[in-house]
Amino acid sequence: MYPTKTQMFIPRPARGATLLLIDSRREPMMIALSGSATIGGAYPASDRDIQLQSEIVSKRHGEFYYDNSADAYYYIDNNSLNGTFVNGVKLQPYNERGSRALRLNDGDVLRIDRSDLRHPHPQAVLMIFSRSFEPDEEWRVVNLSNRFKVTIGRDSSCAIRVSDPMASRVHAEIYLTEKGVMIYDNKSTNGVLVNSHRISGSAYLQLNDVIRVANTTIIFRGGYVLFNNPGEKSGCLSVNIHDQTFGKHTIIRDVRFEADTKDFILVLGGSGAGKTTLINAVLGVVKANGSVILDGQSLYDNFRSLKSQVGLVPQFVNLRKNDKVYATLMDTADIRLPHFTKQEKIERIDAILKKLGVSELKNRLIGRLSGGQQKKISVAVQLIGYQKVFILDEPDSGLDPASREQQMEILRSIADDGKIVMVVSHASEEGFNDDEQRYLFSKVLVLAKSVRDNCGELAFFGSTEDALQFFGVQSLKEIIIEINPPNEGGNGKADYYIDKFRGR
Amino acid sequence: MQTASFFKQTHVYFKKVTRISIREKAWIYLAFAVIIALIVNLVTASDMFENLDSTKSGFFTMASACIWIGVFNSIQSICKEHDIIRSEYRQGTKLSSYVCAHVLWQAVLCFVQSLIIFTVCLCFGFFGDSFDNGVIFHPLAEYFITVFLLTFGAAVLGLMVSSFSGTPTTAMKIMPFVLIIQLILSGVLFELTGLAEGAAVITFSKWGMAAFGSIGDLNTLEPKIASELADKIPNFDKSIVAVTDDAFQHEAGNLLASWGWCLGLTAVFVLIAILSLKLKNRDS
């Protein structure tokens, strides 16, 4: 039965975000956002949370608004004199308060500047909104004045060293020319983005241009560049799906969530709730109406370069049964890690096999392994290539309970290594750690099929503890009973929880 | 993610395809070559170069056998791996490398099969006993090249069919049509006119027959009916029933053109196989 009493609303603590702030009159700084915050000029008696020194900033310039129910940050320009640009587009006045609230994604670039961004104001302000930057992220400086050329890439000789395997050895070069400073894409595999647009060959840089090379952000400051190097760790996965239709039928709608590095997410849902559709949308295999942002870059817009960062371990093993484990992994390493020496590849393969507890299988034929062992080899193949996001579709199907538990522990440890792991599974209880009396999953995503229009919608996304509280259940497996229709043995409360989650 | 170059990936996949094929009992394909070559020779070798009809039939049977062997080699090799390819393509595999590795493996397999067919034919005297008038090289070398080009070309044709077939079952359903088209459009069973004549240009059977005919100098052989009529009609002028075909001209240009068409078609089928896989995996 539906509750008849109004429930007390207890807001969850705001999830953090970080702002890299480059104000013209002071050193670049990182600002941790832990909820809504206002910005404005540093005038006497200013009540703004973030006070900027630049003279082109209005007293009440704008505000970051945190929406607790959507766990999302929005930005509103308070009809300021010079306005705010988000990713190169100026926010327009909407009402007396200001512009429409614009939902911010990881890596969005906000600028307070002249109308023509090609001729930036000397006191322009740059803010990069991020859910991947650490508050104590190290930013380094490379001076351009005493150099003719600055190299960017994975090679140790590069002035701007990028550890992300997505970067090429010498990925790009910055040149000082008579006409200005130019960035040149050195025929890199994954390209160079300047202000979110992939450049073709080369491009001249303007003050405060934001360059992305793999997961490294580089900011052009005229006489110098500022850059970070997040290494191999995954950043933030931000999924914002308005809908996904097939023909005239909408399969899923309004699925928004954000995952951080080390998140181990359980995806729950009854049959027909759209789990496979969601997986395909996150993989970019079937692009949904919406966006998938990985490390501040749109997967859909940069599919060719980013697709390999999101790996799928399918429900059914996709391996050549007549090949040996070691040969399969070495071939994968040969293709995906061309810059590694033979010895480095051997060490990586051995480390992965050891982590998955299958070192003794390396000389066995894949076809002669058990179902569980084959699934572990599938995971090993995906691990070879330094993916940032792993999606596993029912990895526990066909496994005995002991193997399932072990597999969940392995997946947890993969997430702990700095990855984002999403697992679609009906065996949620195998993810319960008896010793610690808690689930191994850090978050739970529940898709429920609405009875109103047969469309899968988000019924919950949050921590496992919040999930149990939200559904009023003792274990995760009971969530499925709550949302499943009565003819599938459930309580038929899908729409109730969809509405409840939306209205939180 | 930077992945290995085209050549490196081709090398990796060639090793993989070779390793797995050997493990999947590739010797069966060699055994097929032995059996089919024996059957063809047992049926046709004794009548070779007796007259135009029996020689033409012998060459046609040999060309058909080569095409059958080639297509059978490869028809299932790509379609059985579509799910694997999709996953590997997403992770950085170059589909051109993958297809080229299969092509290279088929080249090796077909070379060995051609050696087997050639050896059996030599033992049975399929190529006759007069080897002093080669078109370009020694006739035996020319026969071997033709057998290899036909078998290899058909194997690549099989790869192409396999690349756009969703499953091995579908591929095996398509295979008979591919073979029938090759037989019908060879120009041996039926005289081709109009559209069929144009379509025959894209068949290995036509160019294989042309090459065999050119090497064997079929235009110098008498039709079977000529000797039958000569037995019945005194002083019969055999030139009245003599048949010549421009396709069988014993000239270097003609033979090279036939080989060239075989190679050209093979190259086109490789490209189609790559494109087909790219289209199939465009969302991956």
Tell me what pLDDT residue B78 has. Answer: 94
Concatenating the DSSP letter of every residue in A415-449 gives HHTT-EEEEE-S-GGGGEETTTTEES-SEEEEEEE
Nearest CA distance, B167 vs chain A (angstrom) = 15
**Is the distance from CB of A390 to CB of A313 less than 8 angstroms?**
yes
CA distance A484 to A482: 6
How confident is the model at residue B68, as a pLDDT?
Answer: 94
Highest mean pLDDT among A140-144, A347-351, A484-488: A347-351
Beta-carbon contacts below 8 Å between A and B: 85
Per-residue pLDDT for A8 more than 70?
Answer: no
Q: Nearest by CB to B2, from A168, A318, A319: name it.
A: A168
Q: Residue A300: helix, strand or coil by DSSP?
A: coil
Compute the average pLDDT of residues A397-420: 83
State the Cα torsion B163-B166-B169-B171 to the nearest 10°: -30
State chain A's mean pLDDT as an integer. 86
Interchain contact, B4 vs A336, CB within 8 Å: yes
Whether the per-residue pLDDT at A327 is higher than 50: the answer is: yes
A318, B84: Cβ pair inside 8 Å?
yes
Closest partner residue to A320 (CB to CB) among B20, B86, B90 is B20
Tokens 């939200």 belong to A470
| Contact by Cβ (8 Å): B11, B19 | no
Whole-number pLDDT of residue A182: 92
Averaged pLDDT for residues B153-175: 94
Q: Which two tokens stand for residue A234?
A: 């995954």
Which residues of chain A have a CB within 8 Å of the CB of B15?
A: 331
| Cβ-based interface (< 8 Å): residues of A facing B | 165-169, 188-190, 283, 285-286, 305, 307-309, 311-312, 314, 316, 318-320, 322-323, 327, 331-332, 334-336, 338-339, 365, 382, 385-386
**Nearest CB to B20 within list A166, A305, A323:** A323
Higher local confidence (pLDDT), B119 or B52: B119
Between CA A259 and CA A22 the distance in angstroms is: 27
More confident residue, A117 or A108: A108
Q: How confident is the model over A364-398, as pLDDT tens digits?
A: 999 999 888 898 899 899 888 878 899 998 887 77
Report chain B residues whose CB lies below 8 A from the CB of A307. 90, 284
pLDDT > 80? residue B283: no
B9 → chain A, closest CA residue: A335
Q: Which of A336, A315, A316, A317 is nearest to A325 (CA)?
A: A317
Query: Of the segments A114-123, A486-495, B57-66, which one has the largest average pLDDT value?
Result: B57-66
- Tally Cβ neighbours within 10 Å of residue B142: 22
Cα gap A285→A306, rounded to integer Å: 12
Radius of gyration of chain B (CA): 21
Question: Which residue ranges make up each domain of chain B?
Answer: 2-280
Model confidence at A90, pLDDT cuts 50, 70, 90, reads very high
pLDDT, tens digit, 9 for 90 and up, residues B14-42? 999 999 999 988 889 999 999 999 999 99
Cβ distance A335 to B12 less than 8 Å, yes or no, reads yes
pLDDT at residue A4 above 60?
A: no
Nearest to A319 among B8, B12, B84 (CB): B84
Q: How many CA atoms, within 13 angstroms, populate the side-chain half-sphere of residue B46?
A: 3
Q: How confident is the model at residue B82 (pLDDT cuts 50, 70, 90)?
A: very high
The percent of residues in chain A predicted with pLDDT above 70, rounded, is: 93
Whether B240 contacts B126, CB under 8 Å: no
pLDDT of A65 reads: 92
pLDDT at A2 over 60: no
Contact A458, A499 (CB under 8 A): no
Q: Rounded mean pLDDT of A402-430?
A: 84
**Residue in B84, B92, B108, B98 with CA at minimum distance from that of residue B10:** B98
Highest mean pLDDT, choosing among A13-22, A458-467, B8-17, B84-93: B8-17
Q: In A, which residues are within 8 Å of B84 by CB distance? A: 318-320
> 3-state SS of A100-144?
CCEECCCCCEEEECCCCCCCCCCCCEEEEEECCCCCCCCCEEEEC
pLDDT of B231 over the 80 cut: no
Interface contact A169-B2, CB threshold 8 A? yes
Predicted confidence at residue A487, as pLDDT, reads 84
pLDDT single digits (tens) A291-325: 898 877 788 888 887 888 888 888 888 899 999 99
pLDDT of amino acid A1: 46
* H or E element in which residue A219 lies: strand A216-220
Contacts of B91 in chain A (CB under 8 A): 308, 311, 332, 335-336, 382, 385
Across A412-419, average pLDDT? 88
CA B154 to chain A, closest CA, distance in angstroms equals 25
Report in angstroms the alpha-carbon separations of B253 from A78, B146, B209, B211, B212.
81, 15, 15, 11, 14
Contact flag A285-B284 (C-beta cutoff 8 Å): yes
Cβ–Cβ below 8 Å for A320 and B87: no
Distance CA A280, CA A55 (A): 47
pLDDT score at A7: 55
- pTM value is 0.79
- Smallest Cα–Cα separation from A388: which of A86, A106, A196, A31? A106
Provide the pLDDT for residue A328: 95
Q: Considering only alpha carbons, which residue of chain B is nearest residue A326?
A: B16
Of A314, A336, A382, the CB nearest to B1: A336
Residues of B with CB under 8 A from a CB of A: 1-5, 8-9, 12-13, 15-16, 19-20, 23-24, 81, 83-84, 86-88, 90-93, 283-284
For A232, nearest residue in chain B (alpha carbons): B1
Q: What secondary structure, in 3-state letters, does A390-418 show?
A: EEEECCCCCCCHHHHHHHHHHHHHHHHCC
Looking at per-residue pLDDT, the higher value among A504 and A257 belongs to: A257
pLDDT at B76: 93
